[in-house]
Chains A and B, each alone.
Chain A
């Protein structure tokens, strides 16, 4: 464990604070990662509930599912997927630069991530407003004449619940990443043995990406 590794900028990376109850810094980081993985496991199971609703209702209403899925805008969905995957890349790069101690690059990468997150939400907003316009809405709000199959409103119930929950996670992820960005700019103290904050934020962001990787084919490509 190098406590004063010099960074690429030539400054000395500050020693991160070791909480008094941990045996060593390595164990502390290990604990932080394990805690994050456990938290991500809870997130996976949270989304799993909706995936199960999706699976069951698709099983019951395959035709309505296919028809409703084709009423979505595949182009927008694909663009959103690419945007989110790319934002995941920049989030991973942020961790990479944080390990090297290049705090400016960390901030830039996180900024790019946030930019793409906003882009994702804007595209999602256009998709939503289109649906509000033509009436492919959940449950009793459904008034779309194009698809008259039993189960079509249920598809949009699942669609809106899943994408809204995912969108909420995008926003939470943005808040988390913003904290890291501000710290990279203000305190600029990320370095080889002090990058847990960026790493955990980035892990959260990858989870948001991971969920979307599954939501995209499920919703758009039935």
Chain B
């Protein structure tokens, strides 16, 4: 296959009338089998979307149960053991089944080949396999949850997790299997980025979402095997008691924490880096401006992925880890803040003097910016050893990681869902409802977690189902906020489902975005392009010629 001679300049559609012969991927094959056994990255992405949303619902139900339980100081709707199981399952489902695959497996799968001008990912069959590994692991984990559940918290610290009588083994083994899905996806994306870029797309002409997904995939490949091994070790410990982390047998539980956080700290970036990538696309698209500092944003994705591996000990400041290592990790943690700040400044620089089109994705961008900055700043505070000691395992930590990890990821997930909805389904949603629900969700999220910051600062520990009377007002506020949040999600579910079937036809590029993925039809045909492979002479996010932008009043 040679590079195409017909150069399609981005933005200007290559004219073909033959797309009637090339049905879009949604209708090309309508049997169940054509979906279940597809190797088309777009269909796999959609199937991931379905399951990921389902598990988000499950995790959300657990979250609401937790908030209901904490409505009153005493037992409200469940006993202590059920509460322990509920927050464990909330964490496990949300992290392993929702947030880790949410953006990479859904939007990464769908958009990455489109953004690289490729017809598919490098290993399409492995891609399908990763979906079924994910489902298999999820089923095993859910089976374990239904058959008793576990009460260890999602961190399943040894030696408690190796001694508890709840069903640890199947759930952890399920998580182990899901890890394979994550690894396969990561390998697939890295190889795709290395080998499948279309003529014209050099490394520094890749869209920023691709950079973010690439950095994420590197973390997935390097970190996931460690948690895989650890999950197996804990499962074996739980079943047979070899004593690997049992202090009574000379084992060191802190070593368990080292291995656990070696994965689980970078896992935070598995969740949040794709969110950064989505936002880099959206901010350029809706500010009608070239991204400010393209290289800085691209490099900082890799930088976060790299320094993310040097910060894990900040989860262990009170674990018995040596104070020297604790201090070292405290300092290294600040590096993450540096790279994140680079991104934040560049996004703000992009919006500055842009012709902002305040649509739903941009509304989520605003929420995202707030959560990232506020969550990130509390993270810097928590990364300071002396401050972490009193805050450790209080609701301050809970609120912090919900802000930075969940807040940023959810904002980006919803923004991506709205931004790429026309791309994926060829229809548009109702803009007014979109803005209303975005407002509800951002407000609800703040109302849920800002009281938790205050609670934590007042000393309420996490993972207890009861609390003293004096915390009730803030807990009620938090539960009220969570209800608002849930209401926002219900609205989204309603209007997006409606738009899926009855939405207006979107046209090829409703946002007039200059992203590479918008160069094909919306929804794209089965092999992504009609006719010869397009080439990409222009940079992505190219809205204004920088030279013209220098002239005052030219924008």
Contacts and interface: CB of A to CB of B under 8 A. Distances in A.
| Chains A, B in direct contact (C-beta < 8 Å) | yes
Contacts of A154: 243-244, 249-251
B325 interface: no
Contacts of B229: 46-47, 49-50, 165
Contact of A161 (B190, B223, B236): B236
Contacts of A157: 242-244, 249
Interface residues of B, number: 41
A34 B195 contact: yes
B194 A60 contact: no
Contacts of A21: 113, 118-120, 122, 124, 196, 527
B250 A153 contact: yes
B1 A24 contact: yes
A52 B261 CA distance: 14
B228 A46 contact: yes
Interface in B400-446: none
Q: Say which size band chain A's interface belongs to.
A: 35 or more
A160 B241 CA distance: 13
A198 to B, nearest CB: 18
B330 to A, nearest CB: 22
B527 A57 contact: no
A62 interface: no
Given A20-B119, A41-B221, A157-B243, A61 B259 contact: no
A48 interface: yes
B255 A56 contact: yes
B145 to A, nearest CB: 26
B250 A38 contact: no
Contacts of A150: 250
Interface string B190-234: 110011100000000000000000000000011111101110010
Interface string A27-44: 100110011001101110
B252 interface: yes
B139 to A, nearest CB: 23
A218 B242 CA distance: 20
A139 B228 contact: no
B216 to A, nearest CB: 14
Contact of B226 (A39, A49, A138, A151): A49
A31 B195 contact: yes
Given A21-B124, A31-B122, A42-B221, A57 B250 contact: yes
B225 A49 contact: yes
B138 interface: no
B187 interface: yes
B225 A60 contact: no
Contact of A22 (B196, B221, B230): B196
A153 B249 contact: yes
Contacts of A60: 250, 252
Contacts, number: 115
A157 B252 CA distance: 13
Contacts of A61: 250
Contacts of A42: 183, 187, 221-222, 224-225
Contact of B250 (A24, A151, A161): A151
B-side binding surface: helix, strand, loop or mixed?
Answer: helix
A139 B229 CA distance: 18
B143 interface: no
Interface in A115-163: 138-141, 150-151, 153-154, 157-158, 160-161
A160 B225 CA distance: 19
Contacts of B233: 49, 161
A82 interface: no
Nearest to A152: B250
B299 interface: no
B244 A53 contact: yes
B123 interface: yes
Contacts of B251: 154
A23 interface: yes
B306 to A, nearest CB: 15
Given A21-B120, A60-B252, A140-B249, A31 B1 contact: no
A61 B222 CA distance: 29
A50 B228 CA distance: 11
Contacts of B538: none
B393 interface: no
Nearest to B227: A49
A85 B223 CA distance: 29
A63 B255 CA distance: 20
B242 A31 contact: no
Interface in B255-298: 255, 258-259
A41 to B, nearest CB: 6
Contact of B249 (A38, A46, A50, A139): A139
A8 interface: no
A53 B255 contact: yes
A161 B191 contact: no
A45 interface: yes
Contacts of A160: 242
A40 to B, nearest CB: 10
Interface string A9-25: 00000000001111110
Contact of B1 (A23, A138, A140, A165): A23
Interface in A49-77: 49-50, 52-53, 56-57, 60-61
Contact of A56 (B118, B194, B223, B252): B252
B246 interface: yes
A209 B216 CA distance: 30
Interface in A152-179: 153-154, 157-158, 160-161, 165
Contacts of B122: 21-22, 31, 35
Nearest to A140: B241
Contacts of B241: 139-140
B200 to A, nearest CB: 13
Nearest to B123: A35
B186 to A, nearest CB: 8
A140 B252 CA distance: 16
A38 B228 CA distance: 16
B119 A46 contact: no
Contacts of B124: 19, 21
Which are the 7 A-B pairs with shortest beta-carbon distances? Answer: A139-B243, A49-B229, A21-B119, A46-B225, A138-B242, A45-B225, A21-B120
Interface of B: 1, 113, 118-120, 122-124, 183, 186-188, 190-191, 194-196, 221-226, 228-230, 233, 236, 241-244, 246, 249-252, 255, 258-259, 527
Given A46-B228, A138-B242, 17 more contacts: A21-B124, A30-B195, A31-B191, A31-B195, A35-B191, A38-B190, A42-B183, A43-B225, A45-B223, A45-B226, A46-B226, A49-B226, A49-B230, A57-B252, A61-B250, A140-B241, A154-B249
11 contacts: A21-B124, A30-B195, A41-B221, A52-B259, A53-B259, A60-B250, A61-B250, A138-B242, A140-B249, A153-B249, A161-B242
